[in-house]
Homo-oligomer: A and B are copies of this chain.
Amino acid sequence: MTKATKVETMIWEGGVDGYLDLIDQTRLPNEMLRIECRDVETVWEAIKMLRVRGAPAIGIAAAYGVVVGLQTVPDEDEQFFARMDEVVNYLASSRPTAVNLFWALDRMQRQSASLRSELPVSEIREKLIDEAQAIHEEDRQMCHAIGDHGAGLLADVDGVLTHCNAGGLATAEYGTALSVFFTAQDRGHDLHVYVDETRPLLQGARLTAWELMQRGIATTLICDSMAAQVMREGRVQAVVTGADRIASNGDSANKIGTYSLAVLARAHGIPFYIAAPSSTFDLTIESGAQIPIEERNATEITHGFGRQTAPDGVQVYNPAFDVTPADYISAIITEQGIIRPVNEAKIKQVLGFA
C-alpha cells in the first residue's frame, strides 16, 4: 500500500477539524502538487478547474467538501442544517453535468437529515466524515474488485495497450482499466503498458503515463495513429480501456478512439476488454444508438498545445466519445465479475438482474 498511498488522488487528513488533501491534476505531469482544501471554496474551485476530475473522484471530493464547509458553523442545529443546504447547493454548482457529484451530495444530505432528531450536531459531524470515507472506501474496493477480476485475463500477456485515463486519478485509488494492470503488478506479473496519448486532450500522455510510471510499471507512450503498428509488430497482446456509459446490450461509449482500437484489435486477433464499474451500465437504453455523442470545441484540435496548429476558420469535427458495439468487446470487467460473452443476458446475470 505504500506505493499506492504516495500517489493517492485524495486523502482526508485529521478528524472533524481536518481537511481534504488532493493532487492538482492540472499541473501533471510536469509538477506533482497537492492542495490542502481547508474551506469549501477551495474544494469548489478544485472541481470547477478540473484539479480533481473523473466521475468517482468528483463525488468523493464533494462529499469531503460538505464536511469542510460545515466547519464554519457552531454546533447549533438550525445554523448547521441551514449551512448544509448552502454548502450542497454551492458544491452542486461546480460542475452541473457531473452525475456522481449530485449522487454524493445527496447521500451526504440524506445521512445528516436522517440523524437530525437522533444525534447532536457534534456527533453528526463525525457521522458525515464516516459517510464521506464510506463513499471513498466503497470506490476503492470497487476498483480493487475490478483489478482482481481482470488481472487473470492478462495471465499470458506481456504487452497491453490502453487509451485515455481510466486510472486512480479518476477514482479513489486503482482506477478501472489501470486497476487491472496494478493488480497484475501486485501479483508479480510485470506488464509493459503502451499508452495512446489520446488526442485531443492528451489524457494518456499527461495522466496515464504518469500514473503508470509512479508505480514503476514499464510504460511506452505512442501517438494514437501508432496503435495499429504496435499491434502488427506483436508488441501488445491485449487492449484494456474504461467506459463512460454502457447500454443494456453491452455497446460501450468511451473516449474517442476507443472504437478504432476495438476494430484494430479484432483485425490483429487481439482481445479487446473494457473495465468499468456496474454503475457505468445504463439499463434504460437498449443499445449504443441511443447514446448521444457530445461534440466539443474546435479549438481543442486547432489550438491544443498553446499555439495554433491549423488554418484560421478550418471546419473541425470533434466528437468526444465513440461507441464500440458489444460484438467487438471480448469481455467487460466489472467489480461484480467478468461479463463474457458481452450480451444482454450475460450482463443481467453478472450484475444480478437475471
A contact set with B: CB distance below 8 Å: 28-30, 194, 196-200, 202, 205-206, 209-210, 213, 218-230, 232, 235, 256-257, 259-260, 263-264, 266-267, 301-302, 304-319, 322
Contact = CB atoms under 8 A, between A and B. Distances in A.
B213 A311 contact: yes
A280 to B, nearest CB: 20
A311 to B, nearest CB: 4
A15 B310 CA distance: 37
Given A220-B316, A305-B307, A199 B197 contact: yes
24 contacts: A28-B311, A29-B311, A30-B308, A196-B225, A197-B301, A205-B301, A205-B309, A205-B314, A213-B314, A219-B314, A221-B301, A221-B302, A221-B314, A222-B301, A222-B318, A223-B301, A225-B225, A228-B263, A229-B256, A229-B322, A235-B317, A264-B264, A266-B267, A267-B267
B225 A302 contact: no
A199 B223 CA distance: 7
Given A202-B310, A205-B309, 5 more contacts: A194-B317, A209-B314, A213-B311, A223-B224, A305-B306
Contacts of A213: 311, 313-314
A219 B305 contact: no
Contact of A229 (B259, B307, B308, B309): B259
A29 B310 contact: yes
B260 A220 contact: no
Contacts of A205: 301-302, 309-310, 314
B263 A310 contact: no
A317 B220 contact: yes
Question: How many copies of the polypeptide does the oligomer hold?
Answer: 2
Given A256-B226, A260-B260, A309 B317 contact: no
A314 B267 CA distance: 29
A287 B205 CA distance: 34
Contact of A227 (B223, B260, B307): B260
A260 B226 CA distance: 8
B263 A316 contact: no
Contacts of A229: 256, 259-260, 319, 322
Contacts of A29: 308, 310-312, 314
B267 A197 contact: no
A223 B256 contact: yes
A308 B209 CA distance: 13
Contacts of A257: 223, 225-226, 228
A24 to B, nearest CB: 15
